[in-house]
């Protein structure tokens, strides 16, 4: 082990943990805003109770997400100072905008929403919730813009040994960033939808507050069906752009070693003795990878062997992450279509309700696998084609990194345990009686 490996492990662990809370904040804020809008529109007190119940779960989740997000950004100064020095003019400006223009706005508006129930009119209060949802998603947009620049750097020039911003518009409207935004934010809505459906299914199985949780389930189902299909369709655009700007990642996604036309996809691959350098491929379907990358079954796809060995992503983890993400995404579409068919007779199908209850963790896994695919597939680059990850690590001692890694795991583990204990406790208890 060395400081580079431990720094990467620490950033991976903290980011994966942070991402257990961020998507639910993004998606549930919108769903709660819809529920409160329904209350304002109809005057139905059930929607008000729904707003308060799901809003409390949103607040618990938001609180833990904030703490983990703040400490996550510290690592750019502690563990990745060389990276920050090299690209700080670009990356730092995006994070600064996120913090000042989005995060602080989001935090302030949440305070207004929490303490404004008896001080604001119903319409004003609902408007504040929409502003909270907008600020939350705006914060994510700036983070994804920063990450998209790392994936496909544009709008800069190298001066005096560092990257300097030249075209802010090119950075903001970077196609890779826009496609990430259109993939991640809808995926967060899918996660929030399954969260709502899973908790609602639990109470419907117990026949507790049936009208309340049937309405909640149907709202979650609507979001889940629409956006699970949207994420799958947008993924096609994303795959074609990855083919254009990160061809090594596409090859690793399919363990594609030889440059060829009519490139196949493989349903399964097992590691051989050489593990990362070769995989035993099973169940090949000719031409599908060519179509995925170019919408042409006869198109040529560059193989991993045509990239230098030190510029190939870790193949096995990239391959598995891609399949897990796609497989789970397909599952979400199927179960929400089934739910749409059964939506008016949910109590008659307890097996389906049990399926939705145990499906709550799956969107979390899908998003985590998607992040692994995006970041591991970019390796060995921290800024694609510009700066390798090994060049961005801070000149720090192994013991320092090991100590901070252990501390992060312990503190984050405690925070996660407390956060999910409170969420589960509140979810099982259910809303206050009418």
Q: Is 411 exposed, middle or buried (0-12, 13-18, 19+ CB in 10 A)?
A: middle
pLDDT of residue 277: 53
d(CA 296, CA 307): 23
Owner of token pair 């179509």: 291
Rg (CA), the chain: 23
Phi, psi of 254 (to 5 degrees): -115, 10
DSSP one-letter code for 432:
P
Task: Reduce the DSSP state of residue 383 to 3 states and report it.
Answer: strand
pLDDT of residue 273: 41
pLDDT of residue 275: 47
- Cβ(362)–Cβ(331) under 8 Å? yes
pLDDT of residue 280: 62
Pick the closest to residue 401 from 8, 83, 14 (CA basis): 8
Pick the closest to residue 84 from 139, 154, 140, 150 (CA basis): 150
pLDDT of residue 289: 79
pLDDT of residue 92: 80
Tokens of 354: 């049990």
pLDDT per 10-residue tile (average), the chain, 434 residues:
80 83 91 93 89 91 80 77 84 81 83 87 90 89 88 86 85 90 93 94 89 91 94 86 86 81 73 52 72 77 84 85 90 93 88 92 93 89 87 82 84 85 88 77
CA distances for 370 relative to 124, 225, 313, 413, angstroms: 37, 19, 15, 22
Task: Reduce the DSSP state of residue 246 to 3 states and report it.
Answer: coil
Q: Cα 348–349–350 angle (5° rounding)?
A: 110
**Helix boundaries (H) for 19-121:** 22-42, 45-78, 81-87, 93-97, 104-115
Q: Which residues pair with 260 in a beta bridge?
A: 301
Phi, psi of 172 (to 5 degrees): -65, -40
The Cβ of residue 264 has, within 10 Å, a number of other Cβ atoms equal to: 18
Pick the closest to residue 275 from 318, 306, 242 (CA basis): 318
Dihedral (CA of 265, 271, 275, 278) sign: negative
Q: What angle in degrees, to the nearest 10, is found between the helix axes of 175-205 and 210-245?
A: 160
Owner of token pair 């099973």: 282
d(CA 306, CA 318): 18
Q: Is 331 exposed, middle or buried (0-12, 13-18, 19+ CB in 10 A)?
A: middle
Give the largest CA-CA distance in the chain: 69
d(CA 242, CA 89): 25
DSSP one-letter code for 160:
T
């Amino acid at each position: 082990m060395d400081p580079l490996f431990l720094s990467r492990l620490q950033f991976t662990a903290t980011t994966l943990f942070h991402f257990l809370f961020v998507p639910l904040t993004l998606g549930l804020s919108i769903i709660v805003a819809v529920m409160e809008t329904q209350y304002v529109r109809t005057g139905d007190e059930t929607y008000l109770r729904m707003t308060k119940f799901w809003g409390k779960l949103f607040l618990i989740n938001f609180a833990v997400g904030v703490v983990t997000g703040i400490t996550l950004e510290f690592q750019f100064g502690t563990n990745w100072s060389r990276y920050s020095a090299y690209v700080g003019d670009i990356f730092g400006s995006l994070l600064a905008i996120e913090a000042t223009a989005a995060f602080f706005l989001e935090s302030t508006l949440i305070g207004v929403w929490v303490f404004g129930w008896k001080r604001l009119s119903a319409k004003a209060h609902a408007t504040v919730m929409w502003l909270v949802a907008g600020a939350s998603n705006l914060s994510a947009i700036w983070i994804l813009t920063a990450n998209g620049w790392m994936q496909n750097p544009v709008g800069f020039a190298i001066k005096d040994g560092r990257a300097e911003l030249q075209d802010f518009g090119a950075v903001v409207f970077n196609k890779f960033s826009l496609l990430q935004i259109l993939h991640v934010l809808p995926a967060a809505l899918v996660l929030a939808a399954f969260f709502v459906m899973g908790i609602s299914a639990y109470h419907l199985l117990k026949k507790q507050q049936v009208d309340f949780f049937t309405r909640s389930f149907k709202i979650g189902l609507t979001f889940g069906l629409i956006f699970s299909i949207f994420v799958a369709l947008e993924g096609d655009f994303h795959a074609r752009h990855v083919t254009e700007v990160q061809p090594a990642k596409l090859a690793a996604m399919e363990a594609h070693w030889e440059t060829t036309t009519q490139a196949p996809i493989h349903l399964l691959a097992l590691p051989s003795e050489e593990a990362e350098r070769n995989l035993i491929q099973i169940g090949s379907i000719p031409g599908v990878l060519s179509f995925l990358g170019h919408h042409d079954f006869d198109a040529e796809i560059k193989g991993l062997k045509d990239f230098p060995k030190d510029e190939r992503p870790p193949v096995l983890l990239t391959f598995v992450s891609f399949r897990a993400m796609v497989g789970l995404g397909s599952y979400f579409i199927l179960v929400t279509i089934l739910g749409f068919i059964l939506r008016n007779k949910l109590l008659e199908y307890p097996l389906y309700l049990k399926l939705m209850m145990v499906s709550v963790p799956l969107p979390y896994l899908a998003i985590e696998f998607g992040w692994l695919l995006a970041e591991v597939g970019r390796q060995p680059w921290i800024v694609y084609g510009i700066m390798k990850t090994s060049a961005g690590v801070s000149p720090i001692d192994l013991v320092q990194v090991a100590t901070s890694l252990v501390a992060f795991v312990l503190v984050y583990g405690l925070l996660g345990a407390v956060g999910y204990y409170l969420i589960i406790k509140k979810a099982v208890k259910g809303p206050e009686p009418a």
